[in-house]
Amino acid sequence: MKRLWEIDALRGLMLVLMTVTHLPTRLTDPLGQPFGFVSAAEGFVLLSAFVSGLVYSRIGYSQGVEPMRRAFWKRALKVYLSQAATLLFLFFVITAVSLRIDQEAVKNLVSYYLAQPHRGFIYSLLLIYEPALLDILPMYIFFMLLSPWVMAFGLRHGWLGVMAMSTALWVLAQLGLSEWIYAFTVHWTGLPVPFQEMGAFNTFGWQFLWFTGLWLGASRNAPDARPLRFPSWLVSLAAVVALYGLVWRHFGAHGQAPFGGDVELNLLFDKWQLGPLRLLDLAALGVLAVRFGPAIIERLPRFRWLEAMGSASLPVFCAHLVAVLTVLAFYGDSQTARPWWGDALLLLAVFGWLYAVAWAMLRWDRRKPAVNAAARQPSAMSRVQKPAAPDAKR
């Protein structure tokens, strides 16, 4: 299947914004949620789901449900191994360095692991204990494991039922579904992991974003697929909502906290729950991207380095975690620990590292088909023709 370089470039941009947000520099706050009350995480999840729907639905249509299911599971295993490797790096490298130099930022990050090292290690590999910054890939794995059945149902019966169920789960997530399930689980199993150590992302809220992207991607391969078009009144409304969110975010009194210290109202824009007003802001930006994105792309040069990072999104995402954890171990989480030129050098080094990882992975992926093709070629000895059988008439 031909890659969509525009999607790869957008995913690369989301990785850049996530890296800038997670690295403690003077750019962390200004570039956090740069387009309004929407972060790079929402864009990255939605784009990844769209690509998954596009790729795996094509497998489902052309080869059937079983090959599609195996492809999903293979991807889920790759993501799990990436998560496990990152956890090992955090526990046995970063934590060891931080204990030696007494780095509070990392000790706070892995406080449960330091208090309960054996339990912390086992439950992290079971994807129950999720240290901060390492809590998005477990959510991905969960979604990838669910997706084969959801995709098969959607391809056979349509997506109305799927999205109705997904919307209901999102509503229940806003009402405390995760906390209720956690309390029920602790009551019956005695689960020792505290709720706040199980990842910041509310899976029941974020599944709506994933399955929306999956549906949009799969719909592009449907036999009756039509180009996405929106009425002019909806585009105008989306422009007003997006502009209002952008101005509120960057010129409002409270920056990234829309309502300042009002916890209840801030939940309407909450990132971890995927609050309703946050979802509205994201939907407005999505409508504008679909309507004006193609025309903008035609006028811009292709950013090959962003495409490379988006094409190798999983290893680059893990590489960005390695960079962020390393910086936290040596510098802590202070955004002013270095002068401006120090921040510039740090960002240059980190993005050089991310591009090097992307380049190496893409080179490896291009090399594998060539190696496999060479392995399938008959050897030189086998190409020697056998002597012809003697003529029976002779």
Model confidence over 338-393: pLDDT tens digits? 999 999 999 999 999 999 999 999 999 888 665 454 445 554 334 444 444 444 44
Segment 64-123, tens digit of pLDDT: 999 999 999 999 999 999 999 999 999 999 999 999 999 999 999 999 999 999 999 999
Segment 18-40, tens digit of pLDDT: 999 999 999 998 888 999 999 99
d(CA 286, CA 288): 5
CA–chain centroid gap for 220, Å, is 21
d(CA 18, CA 34): 11
Banded pLDDT at 226 (limits 50, 70, 90) = confident
Average pLDDT in the chain = 90
Segment 228-253, tens digit of pLDDT: 889 999 999 999 999 999 999 999 87
- What percentage of the chain has pLDDT greater than the value 70? 93
pTM score of the predicted model: 0.89
d(CA 372, CA 58): 24
159 pLDDT higher than 80: yes
205 pLDDT higher than 50: yes
d(CA 124, CA 108): 16
Which residues touch 319 (CB under 8 Å, ≥6 apart)?
A: 353, 354, 357
Domain ranges of the chain: 5-224+231-367
154 pLDDT higher than 70: yes
Q: Is the dihedral of CA 234, 210, 357, 367 positive or negative?
A: negative
